[in-house]
Amino acid sequence: MFEIVSKRTLAPRVVEMKVKAPRVAESARPGQFVIVRTDPKGERIPLTICDYDADEGTVTIVTQEVGYSSGKINSLETDDCFADFAGPLGCPSDLLELTPEQLKAKKILFVAGGVGTAPVYPQVKWLKEQGVEADVIIGAKTKDMFTYVDEMKRVGRVHLCTDDGSEGYHGMVTGLMEKLINEDGRQFDHCVIIGPMIMMKFAALTTKKYNIPTVVSLNALMVDGTGMCGACRVTVDGETRFTCVEGPEFDGHKVDFDEAMRRQNMYRDNKKTHPETQNCKCNG
Amino acid sequence: MANKIPRVPVREQDPTRRATNFEEVCYGYNADEAALEASRCLNCRVARCVAKCPVNVNIPGFIHAVAEGDLATAAAIIAADSTLPSVCGRVCPQESQCEGNCVLGIKGEPVAIGKLERYVGDWAIEHADETPVEVPERNGKRVAVVGSGPAGLACASDLAKAGYEVKIFEALHEVGGVLVYGIPEFRLPKERIVAREVEALKRLGVEIETDVVIGRTLTIDDLLDREGYDAVFIGSGAGLPRFMGIEGENLNGVFSANEFLTRANLMHAYDESYDTPIYAGRKVVVVGGGNVAMDAVRTAKRLGAESVIVYRRSEAELPARVEEVHHAKQEGIEFRMLTNPVRVLGDERGWVRGVECVEMELGEPDESGRRSPVVKEGSNFEIDCDVVIMALGTSPNPLIKHTTKGLDTTRRGCIVADENGVTSRPGVFAGGDAVTGAATVILAMGAGRKAAAAIDTYLNKKDDATNV
């Protein structure tokens, strides 16, 4: 059993939980995810790791309630326990393979949409620890939906945008990306995009226009998350890849997003309709 | 005149009824039936059945004890060679092993060795509380076992009995590996059989920690260095499901058998009170001819779908257990032999609407000795369906390979280990599907036991070396 040591609401229906999971906390790296199960009858739900503290033995997750199982997760309170909390799963971010010199030479842009902001945070924080300050675009429908902005400001250069103009740049993340590059004359040579599939698709099209190598973190359907079921398969550069063991990060210019979005909706009409299985990672 | 008695039929759930539920198909023998069937055994001096058993169970010995009504002795005889009789009695391919070599089978029907083994195994489980467990004195050495499938359970059991402190690390939330995620309830009851076998292991003092993915949560080196284990056994099982590489395989409604069965078995998706969904559609085509294909197609049938097996060779080459094929047919599964998919067809929404197949014919024998199927040119035709399940085997999981330095693997990614489970890394042993690729429960169990013996030898030698 994995105890919830703290819980706070970040935005409507968006909850952050710090969970006691010493083994996961010890091994976690930016870019990885966990599989959680609330109770013995629950689904196995993949959630991106948003922060971890090996000394405290805790791992932080952020979940947006979009259906039954994510609602079940968010209804847990401090001192309640997850039945299961397995991880860290997936490969750590590619950035971790670079030397500090290589990192310092890079001009990195993160693009976070919706609750994708929380999983971007450990990567930006890790870069800060390496002495690298990255740019981070955070987009939301409206300012009330922003999450992790204060945390992010402590570790990176934050640029906000909202669809309704209630805060920051008025428009989508793609518009703000264009503005930074064209109007502000900013140059980037690496981009990491995490958010809803549709946003990642269009943000990746934007970086392709400017030839910026781009990584996206896919929130595919999963059952076991360890390479056994193949539910998470995606087409990247014409080849079938398994998100859980080969991902979750892939070359954003080579992912077949239309197929990935269609596959996410596989269980939408199932009689056990749990829409969060389409957006099951917290960046959904 | 023992051999004049016909093979005692085993009672089974009615096919039309069982095709709508997940309860066990076979009821097994009762005491009278078991004793009568056991009396058919000729107790051959040179027992051909034993030679064909992958772990060489003393079959005539235990059957003789069943005939005498001495089930405790029968259980003890099996236990000398096999750890999981109630499981193996249910899932071993007896027709190509023990029963396939039974003398009685030459002119008539072989002794129902599998059913008798199951009877003894179940008896042992039911009477486990009556026999006091001797927890051996600990020898102070610790062994980590990776994976709680047949290989890991067998290895852990032998090591615990030999005095080792053993801990099993399981990646999933349930213990049992393929016995819980792969083999369906209707073939192997989880609570009544698998959970009880696991309980027996715990009574021996074996610790089990779930939700630990070796290669991610901890590495093999972490187990040896940080966690202080003296040796590690890797029984992590098969792994990534294979697909055909044909057009349309990523359409919605195409699943690996692993996914379909994991949803049904591990996640209990067929039970309304569990949260995990499963989609069986109106008509399911399962591609493949092994036990996993049979399990998938029969699960689909139980979920209410019209269910078809498509296999590229002929019925004689079906690798599945004969009993499973027989049961599947009784349950109304359609078998389309000498048929191979070339393309999965999708509708405008990206969902499966059918599968395009070609007819095959058998040509020259291939390296496996089986006649290889050859496409009949121009024989393309469509089968209308809304779900396609690929049951084509698995390739090894890359997690441990990628995170363990100095652990040799084959070109296909299987861990290299000798017949005793010794790998290229001192102190690291391996067995089961992780070494052989997808095989049987009994082979995995046998490998786990051999590795346990090798670990014991290795750690004793290491002790001697340090004591010099």
Residues shown for chain A = 284
Please report, in angstroms and rounded to a whole number, the separation of the first and last CA atoms in chain A. 26
Do A228 and B268 lie within an 8 Å CB cutoff? no
Tell me, what's the pLDDT at A270? 62
Give B210→chain A minimum CA distance, Å.
Answer: 8
User: What are the beta bridge partners of residue B16?
Assistant: none
**What mean pLDDT value characterizes chain B?**
94
Q: What residue in B sits closest to A246 (Cα-Cα)?
A: B398
Do B262 and A277 lie within an 8 Å CB cutoff? no
Give B255→chain A minimum CA distance, Å.
Answer: 7
Distances in whole angstroms, Cα of residue B410 to Cα of each of A35, B417, B434: 30, 10, 11
Q: What residue in A sits closest to B211 (Cα-Cα)?
A: A86
Partners of A28 on chain B (C-beta within 8 Å) are none
Kindly report the backbone phi and psi dihedral angles of residue A173, in degrees, each rounded to the nearest multiple of 5, phi listed first: -60, -35
Neighbour-count burial of A55, counting CB atoms closer than 10 A to its CB (0-12 exposed, 13-18 middle, 19+ buried): exposed
Q: Locate B213 and state its tokens.
A: 């993915």
Partners of B269 on chain A (C-beta within 8 Å) are 272
Give B303→chain A minimum CA distance, Å.
Answer: 13
A54 contact B CB<8A: no
B241 contact A CB<8A: yes
Please name the member of A87, A227, A266 whose beta carbon is closest to the beta carbon of B217: A87
- Please state the rounded mean pLDDT for residues A65-71: 89
Q: What residue has token string 């590489």?
A: B245
Give B289→chain A minimum CA distance, Å.
Answer: 19
Is residue A280 predicted with pLDDT exceeding 80? Answer: no
| The dihedral sign for the CA sequence A78, A84, A90, A96 | positive
Tell me, what's the pLDDT at B1? 45
Chain A and chain B share a number of CB contacts under 8 A equal to 124
Please name the member of A41, A68, A84 whose beta carbon is closest to the beta carbon of B273: A41
Give A231→chain B minimum CA distance, Å.
Answer: 6
Do A235 and B240 lie within an 8 Å CB cutoff? no
Do A41 and B268 lie within an 8 Å CB cutoff? yes
Q: What residue in B sits closest to A40 (Cα-Cα)?
A: B274
- Please state the rounded mean pLDDT for residues A229-234: 94
Angle value at C-alpha A244, between A238 and A245, nearest 5 degrees: 80
B262 contact A CB<8A: yes
Q: Which of B440, B461, B418, B458 is nearest to B53 (CA)?
A: B440
Do B259 and A44 lie within an 8 Å CB cutoff? no
Give B134→chain A minimum CA distance, Å.
Answer: 30
CB B338 within 8 A of CB B312: yes
- Please state the rounded mean pLDDT for residues A214-230: 93
Partners of B253 on chain A (C-beta within 8 Å) are 266
List per-residue pLDDT tens for chain B, 468 residues long: 445 899 999 999 999 999 999 999 999 999 999 999 999 999 999 999 999 999 899 999 999 999 999 999 999 999 988 889 999 999 999 999 999 999 999 999 999 999 999 999 999 999 988 877 778 899 999 999 999 999 999 999 999 999 999 999 999 999 999 999 999 999 999 999 999 989 989 999 999 999 999 999 999 999 999 999 999 999 999 888 999 999 999 999 999 999 999 999 999 999 999 999 999 999 999 999 999 999 999 999 999 999 999 999 999 999 999 999 999 999 999 999 999 999 999 999 999 999 999 999 998 888 877 788 999 999 999 999 999 999 999 888 889 999 999 999 999 889 999 999 999 999 999 999 999 988 899 999 999 999 999 999 999 998 777 765
Cα separation, B455 vs B448, in Å, equals 10
Cα separation, A73 vs A88, in Å, equals 18
Top residue of B148, B208, B216, B348 to mutate, by most chain A CBs within 10 Å, is B216
Do B398 and A245 lie within an 8 Å CB cutoff? yes
DSSP A169-236: EES-HHHHHHIIIIIS----SEEEEES-HHHHHHHHHHHHHTT--EEEE-----SSSSSSS-TTEEEE
